[in-house]
């Protein structure tokens, strides 16, 4: 379909090579499916689970995003096979165990510090090191000149919990996602949300399409001029809850 710009499609992603950490499950799987279904040249999944997708363009690499040596090995594999990437999606994340109100004080104080900081390790530190591990391949993608977006980019999965004043997913999760949001202000973080239906102004639960659409927008020529955006996909939840957004 010809657009007003004369380009075949503003949302075309057929030329891009993508790396998705945690791309074999949950939100990462939705992103992988969106890119593969819309003709991405290659989608590398970095994770600890077997890929459940059978497309030839989807390639699984076993990699723990919190392990620097594993990240270097993944970079070396992709460099040898393809030589560049156009888009890095830093999606890996974790949620710590929750607790009841009656256990709150004991939980907040008695959880080992290592368990608390491990959430930061996955949600924040791993995003930082993953981004810089792939910096050379992103630069090679720029020099390759084939990316429809114009310049290589990084997209990170954060959470609307980073803006919530009501701690619904635990202090470690909310504050670690806030760190991710602020760290990615130079790129494009997507702020995901999942809440009870009666607390969502959109009056429905989110669907895979609700993350696939924003991703294709940011990954394609359509979103090429957007930078530093926090894309909220929470159905309007932050408009009806105490928040700093």
- Whether residue 138 contacts residue 131, with contact meaning beta carbons closer than 8 Å, is answered with no
Highest-scoring range by mean pLDDT, 42-56, 68-82, 214-228: 68-82
174 is catalytic: no
- Measured in degrees and rounded to the nearest 5, phi and psi for residue 32 equal -60, -45
69 and 122, same domain (yes or no): no
Q: Which residue has the higher pLDDT, 205 or 91?
A: 91
Q: Residue 244's pLDDT band (boundaries 50, 70, 90)? A: confident
Same domain, 28 and 86: yes
Residue 150 near residue 221 (C-beta atoms within 8 A): yes
Q: What is the mean pLDDT of residues 132-160?
A: 88
Distance CA 60, CA 111 (A): 34
Predicted local distance difference test score (pLDDT) of residue 86: 96
Does residue 232 belong to any structural domain of this protein? no
100 catalytic residue (yes or no) = no
Structure token pair of residue 20: 């998705």
Q: Which of 84, 129, 159, 177 is catalytic?
A: 177
Q: Which residues constitute the domain of residue 143? A: 100-186
Q: Could you tell me if residue 236 is inside a domain?
A: no
132 and 109, same domain (yes or no): yes
The answer to whether residue 2 sits within a structural domain is no
Answer whether residue 12 is part of any domain. Answer: no
Work out how many domains the chain is built from and give that number.
3
Quote the pLDDT of residue 189: 60
Is 129 annotated as catalytic?
Answer: no
- pLDDT higher for 32 or 228? 32
Q: Which one of 173, 174, 176, 220 is the catalytic residue?
A: 173
Query: What span, in angstroms and rounded, lies between the C-alpha atoms of 15 and 80?
Result: 19
Identified catalytic residue from 51, 158, 174, 176: 158
What is the per-residue pLDDT across 171-204, written as a single tens digit (0 to 9) for each?
888 889 989 998 887 666 666 665 555 567 777 7
Q: 235 in a domain, yes or no?
A: no
Asked if residue 72 is part of any domain, the answer here is: yes
Residue 176 placed within a domain: yes
7 domain residue, yes or no: no
What does the alpha-carbon distance between residue 229 and residue 221 come to, in Å, rounded to a whole number? 16
pLDDT at position 1 is 42
196-238 pLDDT per residue, tens:
555 677 777 788 888 899 999 999 989 888 888 888 887 877 7
- Same domain? For 156 and 205 the reply is no
């Amino acid at each position: 379909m010809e657009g007003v710009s004369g380009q075949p499609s503003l949302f075309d992603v057929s030329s891009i090579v993508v790396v998705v950490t945690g791309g074999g499950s949950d939100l990462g799987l939705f992103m992988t499916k969106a890119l593969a279904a819309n003709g991405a040249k290659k989608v590398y999944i970095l994770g600890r689970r077997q890929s459940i997708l059978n497309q030839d363009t989807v390639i699984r690499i076993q990699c723990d995003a919190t392990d620097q040596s594993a990240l270097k090995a993944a970079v070396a594999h992709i460099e040898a096979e393809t030589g560049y990437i156009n888009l890095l999606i830093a999606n890996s994340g974790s949620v710590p165990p929750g607790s009841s109100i009656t256990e709150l004080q004991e939980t907040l104080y008695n959880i080992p510090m290592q368990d608390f900081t491990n959430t930061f390790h996955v949600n924040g530190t791993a995003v930082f090191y993953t981004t810089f591990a792939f910096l050379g391949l992103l630069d090679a993608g720029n020099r390759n000149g084939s990316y429809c977006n114009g310049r290589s980019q990084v997209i990170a999965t954060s959470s609307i919990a980073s803006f919530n004043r009501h701690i619904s997913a635990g202090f470690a999760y909310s504050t670690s996602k806030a760190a991710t949001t602020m760290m990615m202000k130079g790129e494009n973080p997507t702020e995901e949300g999942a809440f009870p239906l009666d607390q969502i102004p959109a009056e429905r639960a989110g669907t895979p399409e609700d993350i696939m659409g924003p991703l294709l927008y940011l990954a394609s020529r359509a979103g090429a001029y957007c930078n530093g955006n926090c894309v909220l996909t929470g159905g309007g939840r932050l408009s009806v809850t105490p928040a700093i957004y």
